[in-house]
Amino acid sequence: MSSADVHDIDLKAFKNDPYPILKYFRKNSPIAYVPQLNATLFSKHQDIFICEKNVEIFSSVQPDGLMTKLMGQNMMRKDGDAHITERKAIFPTVSPKTVKNFWKNQFVEKTNKIINNIGNKRELELVSEFSTQVSAEALKLITGLSGMTWMEMDRVSQGMIDGCSNYIGDPAVAKNCDDCTRSIDLHIDAQLKHPNLHDSPSLLSSQLDAGLSMETIKANIKLAISGGQNEPRDAIAGTIGTLLNNDSQLKMIKSGSKSWLQAFEEYARWMSPIGMSPRRIAKDFNYKEVHFYKNDMIFFMFGSANRDEEIFQNPDHFDISRDNRSSISFGAGPHFCAGAWISKTLIAEVALPLFFSNFSNVQLKKTLEFEGWAFRGPKKVILENWDK
Ligand code: HEM
């Protein structure tokens, strides 16, 4: 355990709304040990920005971590050359060029289908009836697991997320996580026999082309599923709900003076879908008068950095007009989100514009509520006055 000041937190309150607690940390104890999380939290933008790049100390390799044990050692749990090799291997899947020339049209086709299936409902719950499907259909394309249903994609993603945060060792959660990883393995095995395997630049196809081992390929596909389903799901529903709550800002986009991308990027700053990324201290180290010991766990709190008063004016306010180039919603180091370009295109060029052009007369029926601190998103987004 590091020598940082010790601060207890109420985990329930933290899950409900981490921002007041993180604000307190930024002001009073920017590097704080939190017993309830058994980790030292970095809450200031500058510290995260500097330390995340120092991979000699702040290592991603966590052999005893739940993610490695349950999903295999994926690229998010590797440093240096081992990590770079795998990032290069998946570049043909996630590059801006592939997203523009290959994935975008398919995202449009899938999203239009989902919108048409919604029909003439008077009331719609956005997370379960729209954004979950949009996100899962995109992920089926990107991973290459076309045989999976969108419901199964969402189920296995959530099952792995739950498994990776199962610190109390609940056997039911562990069993369900095993079932989810097994389902993914079976889908990969089935896809390997598919004659059209190499017809798309999917994660499966790109990694096979690069000659990665099957163990690594499977681990990285599980990573993309655990990290690529709920963020777009939450960001699509959250941005739509938040814009409906801020009508004047929605009007600016509709009139063309602001863009859907500005709305998504501001949402991702303001309600960071991934609030933290963990690291392990590789060797004893001092930083800002705090002593860290080998194997201490560190949490880089991206959600807190994105509301740092020294970087953003009036940071608790959602404002699509602000300059948010300094936000680190996708990370700030070598593990910068591999799916960033995919997400920007799927959310800002496809899901948001198609949704609002098809449903121009919707309103929020209930107040928006968010939950989560490591992953954060809207609980439900209920809309009414359906005029499609
Ligand atoms: C709103 C959407 C998304 C957000 C906000 C987001 C955010 C993040 C963050 C914060 C990280 C960790 C960065 C770090 O520790 O420095 C990450 C890593 C990653 N994300 Fe995303 N993500 C999103 C969507 C996606 C999607 C759709 C995919 C699917 C391909 C994806 C794949 C990955 C991968 C593979 C990594 C690990 C990269 C590495 O280890 O080099 N993400 N993401």
Interval 71-90: pLDDT, tens: 999 999 999 999 999 999 99
Residue nearest to atom 26 of ligand 1 (CA): 228
Contact 204, 197 (CB under 8 A): yes
Calpha distance 382→354 (Å, rounded): 18
Cα 329 to middle of ligand 1, angstroms: 9
Cα 251 to middle of ligand 1, angstroms: 30
Q: Residue 30: its pLDDT value, please?
A: 98
Q: Residue 388: its pLDDT value, please?
A: 55
Question: Per the structure block, which two tokens stand in for 260?
Answer: 């859907």
Cα 229 to middle of ligand 1, angstroms: 10
> What percent of the chain has a predicted confidence (pLDDT) above 90?
93
Tell me which residues have their CB closer than 6 angstroms to ligand 1. Answer: 52, 75-76, 87, 142, 223-224, 227-228, 231-232, 235, 268, 273-274, 277, 302, 329-331, 333, 335-339, 342-343
Cα 339 to middle of ligand 1, angstroms: 5
Interval 280-304: pLDDT, tens: 999 999 999 999 999 999 999 999 9
CATH for 5-384, options being 1.10.630.10, 1.10.10.10, 3.10.450.30, 2.40.128.90: 1.10.630.10
Q: Count of CB atoms within 10 A of residue 18's CB? A: 26
Residue 308 has pLDDT above 70, yes or no: yes
Q: Which residue has the tokens 């939950």?
A: 371
Question: Per the structure block, which two tokens stand in for 38?
Answer: 């058994």
Residues 6+ apart with CB under 8 A from 299: 37, 39, 40, 41, 42, 276, 277, 278, 279
Strands 377-378 and 58-59 come out as unpaired
**Under DSSP, is residue 40 helix (H, G, I), strand (E, B) or coil?**
strand
Interval 248-291: pLDDT, tens: 999 999 999 999 999 999 999 999 999 999 999 999 999 999 99
What is the pTM (predicted TM-score) of this model?
0.96
Q: Count of CB atoms within 10 A of residue 321's CB? A: 11
Extended strands (E) in the chain: 5-6, 31-34, 39-42, 58-59, 123-125, 277-281, 285-287, 290-292, 297-300, 363-364, 370-371, 377-378, 382-384
> What percent of the chain has a predicted confidence (pLDDT) above 70?
99
Closest CA to 347 of 267, 272, 283: 267
Q: Looking at this protein, which amino acid is placed at residue 297? A: M
Task: Read off the DSSP letter of residue 131.
Answer: I
Q: Which residue has the tokens 């990285």?
A: 220
Residue 386 has pLDDT above 90, yes or no: no
What are the φ and ψ backbone dihedral angles of 120, each rounded to 5 degrees? -105, 35
Ligand 1 atom at minimum distance from 300 CA: 15
Q: Residue 387: its pLDDT value, please?
A: 64
Cα 343 to middle of ligand 1, angstroms: 9
- Which of 90, 270, 337 for mutating ligand 1's site (highest number of atoms within 8 Å of CB)? 337
Residues 6+ apart with CB under 8 A from 80: 55
Closest CA to 259 of 270, 250, 268: 250
Q: Mean pLDDT across the chain, nearest whole number?
A: 96
Interval 103-161: pLDDT, tens: 999 999 999 999 999 987 889 999 999 999 999 999 999 999 999 999 999 999 999 99
Interval 146-199: pLDDT, tens: 999 999 999 999 999 999 888 788 999 999 999 999 999 999 999 999 988 989
Q: Residue 371: its pLDDT value, please?
A: 96
Residue 233 has pLDDT above 80, yes or no: yes
